[in-house]
């Protein structure tokens, strides 16, 4: 009897230890990163002056106060390699050098991001005709380039693209695993993004900080819906510190107000990294109001780290549910209208597992709406969304 008791006690304590370890891990995990990236708006047409101005604008616009921290320099900074294979930047575009630019970004209390390709050549060399992007990928120069990016230049984030790797027919799991392992040995806090343009596979979950799940986004609502649909079934692979990347934000780049709100809302609900892709120097007040909605951002940065799930779909209307906090008692609900016309919709609290006594708050109107009740009528603009916090 005593032996049986000891075994049960041991198993019980083991379960408690595992639960405690999991909770500690979740508490120490990093939420999805927030910042800005150059590719969407500028592609390879980047330079030192513009990057500094973006960093300045991120701070002055209120985005820093809302939680944005990263200034990510994408493809287009390369100058080539010297006779020893050492990577150097384009001196015409970046006369002060990449180390100096990282220092400028850091002095604003921001993080600095950089770019490479897993193969020999970059995406800019293949798709934008950038001859400076030939031979500057990380393939064959892993130790050399990581020394430059992280030890000499001092960058905090790296996006690893796949254009060159695909052209070479490289094994993506083997190639990316080697790159990520090497970077994390230098500094485990360096954020690594795998840009494979589709979900890479289960292997990536315990390796990268984030991974692209789709082809490149465009400033078109059909593109937004396509990426949302791709991510709908990928929630099992999102976990604290590691996230499905739905690509850079297109807010302020040509869609209408409701479409921009929907885009931003769903990226927040689905725990995607929030990397603005517009020109921060000339944003409208409307664009700033969307990108700095702290109540929506709080969903993305929530300490529960749970990606929303689609729990209802009929016609053009969908309901997405996201548990919040460590116990999930408080929830976020996004009701999405895929159609172009206003939808008048009634949802039943019981069908969503909600108590009618729970309090409802509209996160775009910033209004408390009282108790949920047995049912609730909502009007959703065409291509629009309403987002509630229920608790």
Q: Which residues are known catalytic residues?
A: 161, 216
Q: Which two tokens stand for residue 5?
A: 């008791």
Q: Which two tokens stand for residue 273?
A: 């990294």
Residue 391: name the closest of 335, 325, 301, 300 by CA.
Answer: 325
Beta pairing class for 210-212 and 191-194: parallel
Q: 321 and 311 in contact (C-beta within 8 Å)?
A: yes
């Amino acid at each position: 009897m005593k032996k049986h008791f000891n075994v049960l006690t041991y198993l019980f304590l083991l379960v408690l230890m595992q639960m405690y370890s999991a909770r500690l891990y979740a508490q120490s995990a990093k939420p999805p990163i927030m910042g800005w990236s150059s590719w969407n708006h500028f592609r390879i047409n980047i330079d030192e002056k513009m990057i500094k101005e973006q960093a300045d604008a991120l701070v002055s616009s209120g985005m820093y106060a809302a939680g944005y921290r990263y200034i990510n320099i994408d493809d287009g900074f390369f100058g080539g390699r010297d006779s020893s294979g050492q990577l150097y930047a384009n001196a015409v575009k970046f006369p002060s050098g990449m180390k100096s630019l990282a220092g400028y970004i850091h002095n604003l209390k921001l993080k600095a991001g950089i770019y490479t390709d897993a193969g020999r050549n970059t995406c800019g060399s293949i798709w934008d005709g950038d001859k400076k992007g030939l031979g500057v990928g990380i393939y064959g120069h892993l130790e050399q380039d990581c020394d430059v990016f992280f030890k000499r230049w001092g960058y905090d984030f790296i996006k690893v693209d796949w254009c060159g790797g695909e052209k070479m027919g490289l094994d993506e799991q083997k190639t990316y695993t080697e790159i990520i392992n090497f970077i994390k040995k230098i500094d485990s806090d360096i954020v690594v993004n795998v840009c494979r343009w589709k979900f890479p596979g289960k292997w990536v979950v315990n390796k990268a900080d984030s991974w692209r799940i789709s082809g490149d986004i465009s400033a078109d609502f059909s593109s937004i819906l396509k990426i949302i649909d791709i991510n709908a079934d990928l929630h099992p692979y999102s976990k604290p510190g590691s996230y499905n990347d739905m690509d850079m934000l297109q807010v302020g780049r040509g869609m209408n107000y409701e479409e921009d709100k929907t885009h931003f809302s769903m990226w927040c609900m689905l725990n995607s990294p929030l990397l603005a892709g517009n020109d921060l120097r000339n944003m409208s007040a409307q664009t700033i109001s969307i990108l700095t909605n702290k109540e929506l951002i709080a969903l993305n940065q929530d300490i529960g780290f749970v990606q929303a799930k689609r729990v209802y779909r009929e016609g053009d209307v969908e309901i997405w549910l996201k548990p919040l906090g460590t116990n999930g008692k408080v929830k976020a609900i996004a009701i999405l209208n895929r159609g172009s016309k206003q939808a008048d919709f009634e949802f039943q609290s019981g069908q969503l597992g909600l108590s009618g006594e729970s309090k409802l708050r509209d996160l775009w109107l910033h209004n408390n709406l009282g108790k949920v009740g047995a049912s609730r009528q909502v009007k959703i603009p065409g291509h629009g969304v309403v987002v509630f916090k229920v608790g």
